[in-house]
């Protein structure tokens, strides 16, 4: 089992779009793929309970099928920062709890597993812990999704510095063109390639319908997996 944590340089950087594409790509290459979203805010009420669009997208893109509650054990209705939503409900979720949920889900036989974070690297989970503590607890290499727009170079470098400072390996990064009107995208990507000390796993253009089958065409798997 090869496992990665996926983070973004910001909210709406394109984490889920890239994650779903990577899951489909892994399945194309004969890998059993599984995507997890331990914490998700902005869930909708359904007949089956709270459901999150990102978590459902990961489930649809995964070759291995498990119950929703294992994919997204912490489902929060308000579309706000998870720690604020938890505070409003007088709930506290710890990194140890999340790690336990993830380990339980990973008992499902799979070759390629993605654990998608919420927001950026330093999103708080509670007063003392952050989402970045989860991949640290699980010792996961990290894939960074860079939302390519004005200011993203600084965001990407700061995210990479924080991941490295936390003692984790950056397995690769993906450029995600989130704004079709962004200028100088070629120059931005060239700068990121020069300054980020990790392989580029692809660049996803601004797509009207970013379905995982299409997105997968723009991606490659991390080198460590391809060499296994």
Residues identified as active-site: 37
Residue whose structure tokens are 């503590």: 133
Residue whose structure tokens are 């709890």: 97
CA distance 123 to 134: 11
Counting Cα atoms < 13 Å in the Cβ hemisphere of 222 gives 25
Q: Which residues are within 8 A (CB) of 195 and not within 5 positions of it... i.e. 6 or more apart?
A: 153, 157
Contact in structure between 31 and 228 (CB atoms under 8 Å): no
In this structure, what token pair is assigned to residue 168?
């984790």
CA distance 111 to 59: 15
Contact in structure between 36 and 116 (CB atoms under 8 Å): yes
């Amino acid at each position: 089992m090869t496992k990665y944590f996926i983070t973004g340089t910001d909210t709406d950087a394109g984490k889920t779009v890239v994650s779903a594409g990577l899951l489909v790509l892994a399945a194309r290459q004969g890998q059993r793929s599984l995507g997890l979203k331990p914490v998700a805010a902005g869930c909708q009420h359904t007949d089956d309970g709270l459901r999150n669009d990102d978590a459902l997208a990961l489930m649809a893109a995964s070759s291995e099928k498990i119950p929703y509650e294992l994919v997204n054990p912490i489902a929060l209705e308000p579309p706000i920062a998870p720690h604020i939503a938890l505070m409003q409900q007088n709930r506290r979720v710890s990194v140890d709890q999340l790690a336990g949920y993830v380990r339980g889900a990973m008992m499902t036989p799979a070759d390629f597993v993605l654990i998608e974070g919420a927001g950026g690297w330093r999103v708080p989970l509670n007063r003392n812990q952050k989402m970045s503590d989860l991949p640290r607890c699980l010792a996961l290499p990290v894939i960074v999704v860079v939302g390519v727009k004005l200011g993203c170079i600084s965001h990407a470098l700061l995210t990479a510095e924080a991941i490295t400072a936390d003692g984790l390996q950056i397995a690769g990064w993906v450029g995600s063109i989130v704004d079709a009107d962004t200028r100088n995208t070629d120059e931005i990507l060239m700068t990121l390639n020069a300054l980020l000390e990790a392989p580029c796993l692809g660049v996803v253009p601004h797509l009207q319908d970013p379905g995982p089958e299409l997105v997968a065409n723009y991606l490659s798997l991390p080198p460590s997996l391809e060499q296994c």
